Structure 1
């Protein structure tokens, strides 16, 4: 009798210990971001506020510097999840990839670049850009495609009506503009605000405001990962949604303080004003759902730039089930 009772107690303790161990299990996620940008503020908020940890996820962030290298990391299993422009998923799909990337959670919903003029232009109109020396972004990337799209909407053909330069590496564009004879450039924050503060340039327009909503930067994973580990994708998406809501509910100054460790070389004042500019134009998505209308706008922009390799249906490369689940629950 005593042996039976002893083994019963022992079994109960073992089960409790097993449950405790299971409840504290941590899933490691390798996350690749296409560049380091305060445009991705909600992602850094999720990391700093512990939203991933709350979901039992240990996220290791790596900056892979460029759409091509980011997708290579994802497709070769160097990363589990990638934060990159959704146009890259279309490029991969068009190459008949067997295990292509699926967009499952949207982070930003507008273009993040601003038109910066070398000289002050308080009476700026888009017609002023015609005939100018314009420093654009790399061919095939979202900034360049959106830039061309907006210019064409204002009757300017970037390839015939401008002295357009597109062969400067992303990291070297600010320096090239500062030292060169270019009259206009496309810049992300906080670089645009830094240039303005230092008198090296003047923000005259926003490409994000001009181009409408678009799935500019999206979290994606291979189809096989979504199929094999949907629970992890759900947890990851839930953490991002919490961060998106936190960003929507808090001031630019509070957001800047949280993400400051990721931008040690940028003044808190510049971080704050840059985030405020993005918040004012609704650049940060408030939920992770990528809408079909946004997907259609993306394809229209790519098509206008001559960079759409295939008319990929929304349902082929977008999965909103995880986002809808975390929102509804």
Structure 2
């Protein structure tokens, strides 16, 4: 009888352990809404493809919202847990008096990611070539447009008076509008900029990223309540991201291009490699998840210059670096 009790005890223990292992083997799901699909976000795709999220026990569901306003709406409506979008959107939400503010907790890109595309191949491009031209811009109040206006003013061009500025085209349709003949110049992300150049539709003549300086152009953010209730998952998420940031920094563009190729249909690995190399060379990819005070101040200066800053928001109000700092200190 004693032997049977021992055997039964062992069997019970085995069943309990098996159940625990089975439960523990199921990864926690985090839903990400990205503002657009771009090679600019290469480290995010690397984190997925290299299995860095999986190593942390996370399963990522990635959707593309196609626009900052749509991305933030998705986050606020609980259609996503984390948004990858420009930090200016968190300021807009805060200014509206939200009782659950959106907090920036990990930075992905640290410069503007757009390029100026000319319809003609301007070998000796100068910024005053834009005067009197038709400029196909980005959404009013969005970071691409504000950074673009900041750069134009820096070169003595008044976007409202020196250009025929078009801003009434939906974000997702801007490339096709330019391809169909609208505008002399357009501001585009990669890989669309390089695709247009390869197809002879337009030519890259300048980088807004090089011209506008460091700023929290695209960050991972979440509602304050989500960060509090899912602290461990967010820490794991940030750890996986940091692994990917270091991997992209320390490996050749060709290796990154091979990894992220599945995310860009009809785009050659050679073109992706060229774009990754361009972004790396101008320091667009953040090499760690810290969003610093200087970048935050530069962001608000650009917003104010564009007349889009609803109110100045202290760095400590909408930026949480404690998670990134803890991950980096391990």
User: How many angstroms does 1:14 deviate by?
Assistant: 4.8
1:328 alignment counterpart = 329
2:96 alignment counterpart = 95
1:312 alignment counterpart = 313
User: How many angstroms does 1:185 deviate by?
Assistant: 1.2
Secondary structure at 2:47 match in 1: helix
Secondary structure at 1:220 match in 2: strand
2:249 alignment counterpart = 248
CA distance in 2, matches of 1:4, 1:210: 76
- CA deviation vs aligned residue, 1:72-93 (integer Å, no higher than 9, x gap): 1111211111111111100101
Normalised by the length of structure 1, the TM-score is: 0.96
Cα RMSD (Å) of the superposition?
1.5
User: How many angstroms does 1:19 deviate by?
Assistant: 4.6
User: How many angstroms does 1:134 deviate by?
Assistant: 1.3
Structure 1: unaligned runs, 5 residues or longer: none
1:139 alignment counterpart = 140
Secondary structure at 2:44 match in 1: helix
Alpha carbons of structure 1 residues 71 and 268: separation in structure 2 relative to 1, 3 Å: same
2:264 alignment counterpart = 263
Summarize the alignment of residues 52-131 of structure 1 with structure 2, pairs less than 5 Å apart: 52-131=53-132
Q: Is the 8 A contact 2:66 2:172 kept in 1?
A: no
- CA deviation vs aligned residue, 1:3-39 (integer Å, no higher than 9, x gap): 6644653464355335524542411111111111111
CA distance in 2, matches of 1:25, 1:192: 40
Deviation larger for 286-295 or 165-174: 165-174
CA distance in 2, matches of 1:113, 1:6: 68
CA distance in 2, matches of 1:106, 1:61: 17
CA distance in 2, matches of 1:92, 1:22: 38
Q: Is the 8 A contact 2:136 2:182 kept in 1?
A: no
Deviation larger for 83-92 or 69-78: 69-78
Summarize the alignment of residues 1-329 of structure 1 with structure 2, pairs less than 5 Å apart: 1-2=2-3, 5-6=6-7, 8-10=9-11, 12-14=13-15, 16-180=17-181, 182-329=183-330
User: How many angstroms does 1:261 deviate by?
Assistant: 0.7
Structure 2: unaligned runs, 5 residues or longer: none
Secondary structure at 2:209 match in 1: helix
CA distance in 2, matches of 1:247, 1:218: 17
Structure 1 segments, 4+ long, off by >6 Å, are: none
User: How many angstroms does 1:281 deviate by?
Assistant: 0.6
Corresponding pairs, count: 329
Normalised by the length of structure 2, the TM-score is: 0.95
CA distance in 2, matches of 1:62, 1:178: 26
CA distance in 2, matches of 1:77, 1:168: 27
Deviation larger for 270-279 or 170-179: 170-179
User: How many angstroms does 1:254 deviate by?
Assistant: 1.1
Alpha carbons of structure 1 residues 4 and 253: separation in structure 2 relative to 1, 3 Å: same
